[in-house]
Structure 1
Amino acid sequence: MTLPDTFQSRSAQALPTIAPPELKRMERFGARAVFNDGDMLFEAGRGKFGLMVVVSGKIRISRYDGLGNSSLITEHGPGEFAGEMSQLSDAPTLVNGHALGTVEVLVLTTAALRALLVAEAELGERIVRAFILRRVELMDSAACGPVLLSPNNNSRMHALRGWLSSNGQPHKVLDPASTDQARALCERYAPQPDDWPLVVFPDGGVQKNPTIVELGRRLGTLPALDSDQVWDAIVVGAGPAGLATAVYAASEGLSVLVLDTRAYGGQAAASARIENYLGFPTGISGRALAGRAYVQSKKFGVEMAIPAPAARLLCDVRPLEVEMCGSLQRLRTRSVVVACGARYRRPDLANLARFEGKGVYYWASPLEAGLCKGAEVILVGGGNSAGQAAVYLSAHAERVHMLIRRESLVDTMSTYLIERIAATPNIVLHTHAQIVELDGTDDGGLDRVKVRDARHGTERDYDVKRVFLFIGADPNTGWLGDCGVAVDDKGFIVTGYDALARNGQPGDRNDHRHDEIERPVASLETSVPGVFAIGDVRAGSTKRVAAAVGEGAAVVSQIHGFLARLPRTR
């Protein structure tokens, strides 16, 4: 049997063995079960479990893609265990497991697995590391998970692929005419132009042009949430600040639900390399940092729902209620942490929406970088995220034209990035420059960009097909209007004494200072008791990953203080 490349290079970590004394300690977390030869222990897209440790016999683990294609990954023998990140997330498994001969296993539920990981630190470390490496193998092989079929240059295809990649979901892309299976599927479902892409799920189900919400429900990233449950904290936003809050709060025994509109990691996940984050001297990608934080949160039992945008925060009731976008469901919580960051800012260009996902992008992941090979691209923006993206894209594109409106990058970018950009020969910095026109076709996407030099009043056309926009963001606070959370003149949330002062001004609406809860002023608390704000959405915050993580950790003690003063309920 030939193991996948990831398993060959790191087999001891990807396929660890549980020693008999360790298995004995694990017994209190699970129950034994016996399967006969050929029995299916778990099925891709359908089955859920936490962990299966082989006591005797073997389990055959196979990829399965919903089209009926199957391929061997490995065989787990005595002392080895079946499972990967789906099991820690309580999502449907992505692979098939069959019994080879009579098999006895120790079965743990997801809840029991999380309890084991906390109680048995050394053993838990080995299990989590194996889970991560196995998910990496599934991502690299692209032979399981949903299958996406669409003609080239379909913007919806790019959006779905981007969402899947951002959330660490393995998937495969097929051209409708690439295989007999793909052709037969297209003939059967006869998709019209608005039906692309077709998506085949691991359980064999097929949907035409599904929404991201539908993907989330099918793949387990958007679980059913109980409206009757009262959470200790609902965190709105899964960027570095929100993930830090989730990890620290859950590790200290609080029940935590995290909601995010798109993916865990926020805007930081778009950073190709973060080099000034403490403890990573060689740098770490935003996606890798976010992925590790996500795994930590699941280890401590955080519930996460993606995509799950919050529509309204209702503060005139206790517990507080968060109303979900697109439904009437309201989730109840004793406290809310607003960590929703900001919305990508879009320039005022007449036909911008026409080319989004078909030439215009707001982040630079490996998916977008693969589209730039050997081509010239334009990148707009002068902040650190723009600098990191420019350097990253320069390794793939023939030339990166970097456009800024200022005279230089000195006031907006870290020195190390400025020096790196200056030392990269295929990055060309254009100052006093801005895009004034986009041109192309509906089928082919973007073809041409007109750029104006404001200093000289001249314009120039560039024959480029990829434009990356990193021009900042606006605070994502519109959904807080019904709650009366105080914001500054730019829309950022004020906290601490600033919130008290602003909320107490004559004429301010929704004065919640009459609340029955007596408490000292908390530095990260908003004008509404029990509602906290951290990270980029907070007025006066330092817009850096490390600062966001620090605020995410610091707010947990303030949540504890608030919860301790809540009136006792019977």
Structure 2
Amino acid sequence: MANPQTHSPQFDPEASRDEQVPAIAASIEQRRHQIFPVLAEHEVKRLMRFGTVRTYADGVRILEAGFTPFGMVLVLSGRMAVYRYDGLGNSALVVEHGPGEFTAEVSQLAGRPSLVNVTAAGTVEALVIPAEQLRAMVIAEAELGERIVRALILRRVNLIESGSGGPVLVGPPGHPNVFHLQSFLTANGHPHTVLEPGEDDNARALCEHYQPTADEWPLVVCPDGSVKKNPTFADMGRCLGMLPELPADKVWDVIVVGAGPAGLATAVYAASEGLSVLALEQRAFGGQAAASARIENYLGFPTGISGGALAGRAYVQAMKFGVEVAIPMSAARLACDASPLAIELDDGRRVLGRTVVLSCGARYRRPSLANIKQFEGRGIYYWASRIEANLCAGAEVILVGGGNSAGQAAVFLSAHAAKVHMLVRGDGLKATMSTYLIERIRATPNIELHPHTEIVALEGDDEGLQAVRWRNSRTLGEKECAVCRVFLFIGAEPNTDWLGDCGVEVDAQGFIRTGDAVTAPAEAPRSALETSVPGVFAIGDVRAGSTKRVAAGVGEGAQVVSQIHEYLAGVPAAGQRTAGRATR
């Protein structure tokens, strides 16, 4: 999956669109053999068993952007033309596929609607492979599947880099609602375009037709051409096919709540071992780890990897193995008084699971400042991606926090901002940050550390944050700084409030107890990651006593799968439990 912070060397996200086009075209040309591979005749024969041969007459629309869910269409004879389409009626030829070439991009592993229009250029005979069979093919045909998946990922990267495909966001510059939606799409690796009414004729015409009020920005044009006013994240998910249909009577082997590194690890390992898996994520895959600009101490990546890239790869793996991922979808209540377990969703639906894995992480912690919510998205930010970094060009910014995520963000922002003021409440960074990051911060001239310091006031208006006042807890001296961008990395609180009705045992801070840490009696020994409720497991940051590191979360995500198998082996065939606990 494309990572919004990682681009091909030729692509400069701060350049104008006219400047970007030649660079993007050069990047495509250099990797054309990977992006648009041509399968040999013997390779095509190996794929025939996964699809159905169909014939299309000249000019027939084979795929329609925003409508046609599919897996892959492989040309056997003839040619088909692929067009970018933005929902506003603008279309541009991307490529023509001939025999041995195919159309698809990474979301087709999950059977989501097409982001492009595909038309028969003359009579076309093609092999149509549905999403389920596409996944089966990339697993069964390992070498060929690797080439195809690489092509699907690179095609998504090109869509993102070129700013084409996906929804079009129309709104005034700097509007917080535009920022929130753009951040949501970027975090989910989804291509999109942002247009300003004052600079684009199509955007201006759209605004004249719909006449949005101040509360109705932005206008969003979905790939199918429908227009929404200030849509919610859930509206965007439905617009893009990110929220699948969830049959009310289906019982999943595993429901994973939270698609951070731990949850994605569980999803990948469980699905690869034949279990049916549903993953629910309230905002974006990768969780808070995806906000890390660079992780340099993750095993196997000596030069480092961004959190977004790591999460994106795991997300593609999950789709490859058939995990059903619903984004954005929040769990509102866990019902564990019957078998199977049930999760009530925030839209009123229920999903059923034989087991539930809680990897719901934590919510960002806010300082106790009266007007902080007023400036969220217009001066206050909880992570630092390319979008936020572009807002900071040449300006001074404040970053609050002393953990590894804060250190990574400070170094990342220092390449864009004139100066980064790093505020920490303690003596320094030694107790909370890895040594390599401390050394890098010391070596970065435009990062200034302010120990014993915290923000005491925010000032601004409806346009956004304008100034910040901070205080030194030792000297009690205060300073006001004309800074309009503040990044908060001050930890998080466990996201466990919704579990109260089920009786999942938590500690004094709200983290979930598992294994021997559970105080409630049990009729049989608990697995190390099992909660006080049989069949409900907890992993990652939300688990009491866990190591708050990406690698640790991934390890627990893999470890819990063997415990799930053990639990399921002891559940009676009819799925009914004995009183209080399944017999093992």
Short-chain TM bin: over 0.9
Query: Cα offset for 1:86?
Result: 2.3
Aligned counterpart for 2:472 among listed residues 417, 442, 453: 453
Partner in structure 2 of residue 153 of structure 1: 174
Q: Match for 1:347: what amino acid?
A: P
Distance 1:439 1:90 in 2: 47
Q: Match for 1:390: what amino acid?
A: A
Partner in structure 2 of residue 381 of structure 1: 401
Partner in structure 2 of residue 509 of structure 1: none
1:341 to 2:361 alignment: yes
Check the 8 A contact 1:525/1:533 in 2, yes or no.
Answer: yes
1:124 to 2:129 alignment: no
SS in 2 for 1:503: coil
1:302 to 2:307 alignment: no
Q: Deviations over 1:526-558 (max 9, x none)?
A: 011100000000011111000000000000000
Q: Match for 2:502: what amino acid?
A: C
Within-5 A mapping of 1:109-188:
109-188=130-209
SS in 1 for 2:445: coil
Partner in structure 2 of residue 268 of structure 1: 289
Query: Cα offset for 1:7?
Result: 2.1
Query: Cα offset for 1:23?
Result: 1.1
Partner in structure 1 of residue 533 of structure 2: 528
1:70 to 2:98 alignment: no
Check the 8 A contact 1:237/1:340 in 2, yes or no.
Answer: yes
Q: Deviations over 1:291-323 (max 9, x none)?
A: 000000000000000110100101101000000
Distance 1:177 1:414 in 2: 46
Cα RMSD after superposing both structures: 1.1
Partner in structure 2 of residue 414 of structure 1: 434
Aligned counterpart for 1:55 among listed residues 62, 76, 98: 76
Distance 1:446 1:546 in 2: 36
Distance 1:232 1:431 in 2: 49
**Between 403-412 and 5-14, the greater mean CA deviation after superposition:** 5-14
Partner in structure 1 of residue 371 of structure 2: 351
Partner in structure 1 of residue 453 of structure 2: 433
Q: Match for 1:537: what amino acid?
A: V
Check the 8 A contact 1:404/1:431 in 2, yes or no.
Answer: yes
Distance 2:347 2:79 in 1: 46
Aligned counterpart for 1:561 among listed residues 553, 560, 566: 566
Within-5 A mapping of 1:24-43:
24-43=45-64
Partner in structure 1 of residue 29 of structure 2: 8
Check the 8 A contact 1:337/1:533 in 2, yes or no.
Answer: yes
1:498 to 2:503 alignment: no
Partner in structure 2 of residue 508 of structure 1: none
Distance 2:490 2:402 in 1: 7
SS in 1 for 2:502: coil
Q: Deviations over 1:372-400 (max 9, x none)?
A: 00000000000000000000000000000
SS in 2 for 1:144: coil
Query: Cα offset for 1:58?
Result: 1.0
Distance 1:304 1:191 in 2: 33
Check the 8 A contact 1:4/1:73 in 2, yes or no.
Answer: no
Distance 2:173 2:127 in 1: 47
Check the 8 A contact 1:476/1:537 in 2, yes or no.
Answer: yes
Check the 8 A contact 1:310/1:322 in 2, yes or no.
Answer: yes
SS in 2 for 1:132: helix
**Between 520-529 and 251-260, the greater mean CA deviation after superposition:** 520-529
Distance 2:222 2:245 in 1: 19
Check the 8 A contact 1:222/1:305 in 2, yes or no.
Answer: yes
Partner in structure 2 of residue 507 of structure 1: none
Partner in structure 2 of residue 538 of structure 1: 543
Query: Cα offset for 1:59?
Result: 1.2
SS in 1 for 2:118: strand
Query: Cα offset for 1:11?
Result: 1.1
Q: Match for 1:145: what amino acid?
A: G
Distance 1:451 1:19 in 2: 65
1:252 to 2:252 alignment: no
Distance 1:4 1:100 in 2: 23
Distance 1:544 1:209 in 2: 36
1:20 to 2:25 alignment: no
Distance 2:453 2:200 in 1: 46
Residue identity over aligned pairs, in percent, reads 63
Partner in structure 2 of residue 510 of structure 1: none
Check the 8 A contact 1:323/1:331 in 2, yes or no.
Answer: yes
Check the 8 A contact 1:44/1:202 in 2, yes or no.
Answer: yes
After TM superposition, the score normalised by the length of structure 1 is 0.96
SS in 1 for 2:420: strand
Distance 2:70 2:25 in 1: 24
Distance 1:319 1:481 in 2: 18
Distance 1:520 1:22 in 2: 51
Distance 1:204 1:127 in 2: 29
Query: Cα offset for 1:25?
Result: 1.3
Distance 1:178 1:190 in 2: 17
Query: Cα offset for 1:177?
Result: 2.1
Partner in structure 1 of residue 4 of structure 2: none
SS in 2 for 1:4: helix
Distance 2:27 2:98 in 1: 19
**Between 396-405 and 88-97, the greater mean CA deviation after superposition:** 88-97
Partner in structure 1 of residue 256 of structure 2: 235
Query: Cα offset for 1:5?
Result: 3.4
Q: Deviations over 1:416-461 (max 9, x none)?
A: 000000000000000000000111110x211100011111111101
Query: Cα offset for 1:6?
Result: 3.5
Aligned counterpart for 2:503 among listed residues 465, 484, 495: 484
Distance 1:147 1:521 in 2: 50
Q: Which runs of 5+ in 1 are unaligned?
A: 505-512
After TM superposition, the score normalised by the length of structure 2 is 0.94
Partner in structure 1 of residue 6 of structure 2: none
Distance 1:44 1:91 in 2: 10
Distance 1:200 1:218 in 2: 9
1:281 to 2:302 alignment: yes
Query: Cα offset for 1:33?
Result: 0.7
Query: Cα offset for 1:9?
Result: 1.6
Distance 2:66 2:302 in 1: 40
SS in 1 for 2:169: strand
Check the 8 A contact 1:239/1:339 in 2, yes or no.
Answer: yes
Check the 8 A contact 1:6/1:133 in 2, yes or no.
Answer: no
Distance 1:159 1:92 in 2: 23
Distance 1:341 1:144 in 2: 32
Partner in structure 2 of residue 550 of structure 1: 555
Check the 8 A contact 1:277/1:283 in 2, yes or no.
Answer: yes
Within-5 A mapping of 1:205-220:
205-220=226-241
Query: Cα offset for 1:197?
Result: 0.4
Q: Deviations over 1:470-498 (max 9, x none)?
A: 00001111111011011111111111111
Query: Cα offset for 1:520?
Result: 3.5
Q: Match for 1:471: what amino acid?
A: I
Q: Match for 1:531: what amino acid?
A: V
Query: Cα offset for 1:204?
Result: 0.9
Query: Cα offset for 1:224?
Result: 1.8
